[in-house]
Amino acid sequence: MIDFHCHVDLFPSPELTADEIDLAGTYVLSVTNTPKAFPKTAQIAKGRKRIRTALGLHPQLVAERHGEVSLFRRLLGETRYVGEVGIDGGDENAKHLDLQREVFNDILDACAKIGGRVLSIHSRHASGEVIEALDRHRDAGVAILHWFTGSLTHADKAVGMGAWFSVGLPMLKSKRGKSLIKRVPRDRILTETDAPFASNSGDHYPAAAVADTLTALSRLWDCDEIETRRQLQGNLRALGSRAEAFKVRLT
């Protein structure tokens, strides 16, 4: 099983959540919302084979935390994975759009400069802008659009640029989400939970939601779960070898 966008550090007991992830045997991208949260969150994943920690600066926190961009740059050498980053064009965040654009640009520049990263990207109400920014920074690495709700035209453009998509149950339950997933090549899809948000398993890791996502995706792809699982695992392996090529500082 694969959960390529999960906020492990935002569970009430992250260590326990990591134990539950280990027990479930799920491969997890543990994203962070601020650079300051990265070192401690990376520590939780130490010695755990299936958890990778991403360095992030959530667009909804940019107004408050843009001062951490320099810390982001300093920490970027320690991981091949970046997220959650991006732009949020929702009403509450629209007043900080310029700052969000600037920070996202800085992040993509930094990723390009260091030789590329795998990026988990937020694009709520800003898919066009996010795709334009990625288009200007093609050397930033492999972009994975998380919980994408943009138009099919934007999705097509993203696919054309080499972007991937991580999809969860809410997308698989919506008509729009389903048509988008159908449109994207199967070798560009990974599953995600965005837990502890968008899941209702209380304080626990939502292993059942990951299984349900696989079931829903099988139905949409019209193939059995073994085949779906094989496809997703192949995708993760392919992404893993892309990531291996990105240089990191060993800590």
The site for Zn ion (CB under 5 A) is made up of 84, 194
Least Å from the CB of residue 230 to Zn ion: 27
Residue 14 Cβ vs Zn ion, minimum distance, rounded to whole Å: 15
**Residue among 59 and 228 whose Cβ is closer to Zn ion:** 59
Give SS3 for 234: helix
18 or 228: whose CB is closer to Zn ion? 18
- Nearer to Zn ion by Cβ, of 197 and 233: the residue is 197
Where helices occur in the chain by DSSP H, the ranges are: 14-24, 38-45, 62-65, 69-75, 91-94, 97-113, 127-136, 152-160, 169-173, 175-183, 207-221, 225-244
Cα–Cα distance measured from residue 54 to residue 214, given in angstroms and rounded to the nearest whole number: 23
Q: Residue 84 or residue 88: which is nearer to Zn ion going by CB?
A: 84
Contact 187, 234 (CB under 8 A): yes
Minimal distance, residue 247 CB to Zn ion, in Å: 26
- Euclidean distance between CA atoms 102 and 108, whole angstroms: 10
> Minimum CB separation from Zn ion for residue 225, in Å?
26
Residues paired with 29 in a beta bridge = 52
